[in-house]
Amino acid sequence: MRRGKTKGTKFANQQKDTAGKENCESRPAPEALEKLLTAIVEDDRPGVLNLLQATPGLATQQVPRARLYDRKIRHWLYAGDTALHLAAAGHRVELVRQLLAAGADPNARGNHRASGPLHYAADGQPNAPEWNEQRQVMTIQGLVAAGANRLAQDKNGASPLHRAVRTRCAAAVSCLLAAGDAGTTENKSGATPFHLAVQDTGRGGSGTAAAREAQQRIIREFLKRGLSPALKSRSGKSVRASARSSWIKELLAEGTNPADPAGS
């Protein structure tokens, strides 16, 4: 009996060792992921394709540590993110397609902020020299077509639409509304994207003429979609009451349906 147990234990250990070796062999090396991230920043499409073809599983591998990108792509990449997060943040339309075709998850949210690729795509920096709102829209459309949840909320309750509004990405706001977001989702503090649209975001450049023009476009987009300035947050504050600037109040008044309550 003892001899049989010994043989059985030895066989089981061999099986575990074999499985462990197979897992290690199937898991992409960290160097491959770093090369992939670099290729994404450089928008090296042939390089990305070659890496994905040569290294199965690379499209779903998680980033092990956080880092800030401030050249060509301007965004944080957190531990638990994937290469698709970075491509989405950089609005690398073709690379997003390549990664999705290689098996990347459009709803991956392994980072501590619970943000998915669509959240990153909705973030924008209209003041950056490389900014291109058309490519942002195409990135969002590609992710939504691949099954990305347009209503997914991060740990602060922000949906992709909240984030597009906050970064004053007017074309992205229009795109997400057209994709089916009703614009009424509340974040953790109870505010809808429309509430954020009439407030100062606190981001750098928010007082510039370009930022104001984008804010006007966003507010008009909500009004065009039929959202009322009387829409209330969880605390009971209406969009109208959240507006502080006179020009925003005038803009909301122009789009008010006479049947709407006055709000407060």
Bridge partner list, 69: 75
List the Cα angle 239/115/160 in 5-degree steps: 35
The residue to which tokens 């209406």 are assigned: 238
> Quick count: other Cβ atoms within 10 Å of Cβ 257?
10
pLDDT of residue 264: 44
Q: Which tokens sit at 179?
A: 């994709």
Residue 95 contacts residue 43 (beta carbons within 8 Å): yes
pLDDT of residue 23: 46
Cα distance between residue 117 and residue 98, in whole Å: 14
Domain boundaries in the chain?
28-254
10-residue averages of pLDDT along the chain (264 residues): 50 49 60 97 98 96 97 96 98 98 98 98 92 97 98 98 96 97 96 96 68 94 97 97 95 71 44
Helix (H) or strand (E) holding 43, with range, is: none
Number of H helices, E strands in the chain: 13, 2
Residues 19/21/24/27 CA torsion (nearest 10 deg): -60
Cα–Cα distances in angstroms (integers) from residue 82 to residues 64, 76, 96, 240, in the given order:
10, 12, 11, 39
Q: Give me the amino acid identity at 40.
A: I
pLDDT of residue 43: 98
Phi/psi of residue 93, nearest 5 degrees: -55, -50
Fold observed for domain 28-254: 1.25.40
Reported pTM: 0.86
The closest of 160, 168, 156 to 204, measured between CA atoms, is 168
